[in-house]
Amino acid sequence: MSVKLTDHEKALADGVHGKAKQKAMDLLIRYADALGAERFCETNNVAGVWTVSNPILRDYTRNGMDAVFSEFNLDSREVVETPHTEAYSCQLIQGVDPASPEMREATGDAADLQKAGEAYFGKRGVAMFSTCTPYQVGNVPVMGEHCAWMESSAVVYCNSVLGARTNTEGRESTGAASITKRIPYWGYHIPENRRGTHLVEVDVDTDDIMDWGMLGYWLGWEVEEDIPVLNGKLISPSMIKLKHFGAAAASSGGVEMYHVPGTTPEARSVEDAFSGNRIRKTLRYGATERRKTYEDLNSTAKDSAVDFVMLGCPHNSIEQMSRVARVLDGRKVSASSALWVFTPRAIKDVSDRNGFTEIIEKAGGRVYVDTCPAISRQMPKGTKVTAVDSAKQAHYLPAITGAQCWFGTVEDCVDAAVTGQWKGGLR
């Protein structure tokens, strides 16, 4: 062991505070040493995964939720009792929407397992937000706050847009952090590691979320895990645009931090974003790069008949629910297609009150919470061709399901659901 421990951390590791916290500290020490971290930092904001709905994990639930927690959240073969959380912790996206008849039918007891997990871990302090976007439903860390978050799209949002500090954690490290309030002080927890490395000159107008998604997807391949500083024709950055941009960049590369000078909090100017770092490389995103990215994102799509349209990756904001309802109002989803829209449970409540859910359902679409097709692996039966408005979903869905996937605007996607035909394109 080379990571330095405080007296409290030594006590945790020695089992003074119980078996679960001892196992948690054991994992965190192995992890910190693998990273080469010198010490831990204290965190009071954890976003992770506790519940079970994946069929591969079902066997472990037979031995109770403590067996699930021990193996998957602490990497402990020995089953230990799950203590109450010490850090503020929340559950991210899950495997199934229990209210969906299709998903219930297709996944057997997954919904019941998930609900049992919610009850068990919820009682022990895990807030059941059940979304990939905890920052949309109340978990908004302050600037400089040390966090331990999973979900690559939430991590990049947390670092870049909120100015809080987290690495991309995993199920085991967040589980351990939730009961010890400790995470390795490494990577993005350290201020010097948060400065820009690459300057990106955006030469084409980037406005709609489709364009922000393409820019992010292209950038992820270009910079991988480095820290891009975006400059140029970025039209009115907003929460939903940055949500789509970051999710895409985190999927194609592994971008965990970026700066948009004038918009994101650690970059008042381009100069400020680099804070003395040498600009390692200047990249240009123009019409050629945009077209190539569009072609990459549509590379799995061949047939124009669309069986299934999915919107809401990362989970839709209420503004996006409004846009879908407005585009769909008075139209009908084709009998040969389906439209599923995904949003956090708390936002669905607002969508219900606004009447957006009713408009979408009247048109034959569905509004789902808690999950997404890539996580749940659930799509309407027989789906061969999908269409999405998310570069992240276009990256993962064909790989996971084997289906073809079209990528376009919300309007292109809704039109495809209504006509059953893909007529989208790069405009």
Partner 1 sequence: MTETLSNAKIVLHGRAIVGGIVEGEALVTKEAISGWGGIDPRTGTVIETRHELRGQSFKDKVLVFPGAKGSSGWSHYFHLARLSSAAPKAMLYTKTNTKMALGAVVTHAPAVTDFDRDPLDIIETGDWVKVDGDTGIVEITKRNAR
The answer to whether 334 touches 420, Cβ cutoff 8 Å, is yes
387 is a site residue for partner 1 (CB under 8 A): no
Q: How many chain residues interact with partner 1 (CB under 8 A)?
A: 42
Would you say 208 and 53 are in contact if contact means Cβ atoms under 8 Å apart? no
Structure token pair of residue 419: 């006509």
CA distance 160 to 154: 10
Distance of alpha carbon 349 from alpha carbon 58, whole angstroms: 30
Does 420 participate in binding partner 1 (rule CB under 8 A)? no
- Which is nearer to partner 1, 154 or 309 (by Cβ)? 154
Over the window 236 to 265, marking each residue x when it contacts partner 1 by CB under 8 A and - when it does not, the resulting string is --------------xx-xx-----------
Of 151 and 289, which has the nearer Cβ to partner 1? 151
Give the integer Cα–Cα distance in Å for 265 and 257.
12
The binder of partner 1 chosen from 203, 225, 272, 411 (CB under 8 A)? 225
Choose the binding region for partner 1 from 49-57, 120-128, 133-141, 312-320 (rule: CB under 8 A). 49-57
User: Site for partner 1 (CB under 8 A): which residue of 8, 19, 30, 39?
Assistant: 30
- Listed ranges 32-40, 195-203, 229-237, 345-353: which one lies at the site for partner 1 (CB under 8 A): 32-40
Radius of gyration of the CA atoms of the chain, in A: 22
DSSP class of residue 170? Answer: -
Nearer to partner 1, 153 or 351 (CB): 153
| Site track for partner 1 across 130-169, x = CB under 8 A | -------------------xxxx--x-----------xxx
56 in contact with partner 1 (CB under 8 A): yes
β-sheet bridge partners, residue 184 = 40
Classified as helix, coil or strand, 213 is helix
Whose structure tokens read 């019941």?
Answer: 112
Site string for partner 1, 166-195 (x = CB under 8 A): -xxxxxxx----------x-xx--------
107 versus 357: smaller Cβ distance to partner 1: 107
Sheet containing 385-388: which strands, arranged edge to edge? 366-368, 339-342, 308-311, 385-388, 404-407
9 binds partner 1 (CB under 8 A): no
State how far the Cα of 324 lies from the Cα of 311, in Å rounded to an integer.
9
Closest approach of Cβ 58 to partner 1, in Å?
Answer: 12
Q: Angle 285-287-289 (CA atoms, 0-180°, nearest 5)?
A: 50
CB of 56 to partner 1, least distance (A): 6
Query: Of residues 218, 245, 274, 396, which one binds partner 1 by CB under 8 A?
Result: 396
d(CA 416, CA 154): 29
Residue 374 makes contact with partner 1 by CB under 8 A: yes
CB of 97 to partner 1, least distance (A): 19
DSSP conformational letter for 159: I
Q: Does 224 bind partner 1 (CB under 8 A)?
A: yes
Contact with partner 1 (CB under 8 A) among 16, 36, 144, 193: 36
Give the separation between CA 230 and CA 196, rounded to whole angstroms.
10
Instruction: Considering only residues 62 through 101, tell me which ones interact with partner 1, judged by CB under 8 A.
Output: 71-72, 75
Site string for partner 1, 315-354 (x = CB under 8 A): ----------------------------------------
What distance in Å separates the CA atoms of residue 342 and residue 317, rounded to the nearest whole number? 9
Angle (deg, nearest 10), helices 318-328 and 410-419: 40
Choose which of 398, 408, 420, 424 interacts with partner 1 (CB under 8 A).
398
Residue 379 CB, shortest distance to partner 1, in Å, is 15
* Residue 270 CB, nearest approach to partner 1 (Å): 26
Determine the Cα–Cα distance for residues 76 and 126; give it in Å rounded to an integer.
Answer: 20
Q: Shortest approach of partner 1 to residue 384 CB, angstroms?
A: 16
Burial 250-275 (b: 16+ CB within 10 A, else e): bbbbbbbbbbbbebbebbeebebbbe
CA dist 183 and 146 (Å) reads 9
d(CA 396, CA 402): 10
Q: Which runs of E-coded beta strand occur in 140-206? A: 148-149, 182-184, 198-206
279 binding partner 1? (CB under 8 A): no
Q: Closer CB to partner 1, residue 36 or residue 108?
A: 36
Binding residues for partner 1, per CB under 8 A?
Answer: 27, 30-31, 33-36, 49, 56-57, 71-72, 75, 149-152, 155, 167-173, 184, 186-187, 224-225, 250-251, 253-254, 299-300, 374, 395-396, 398-400
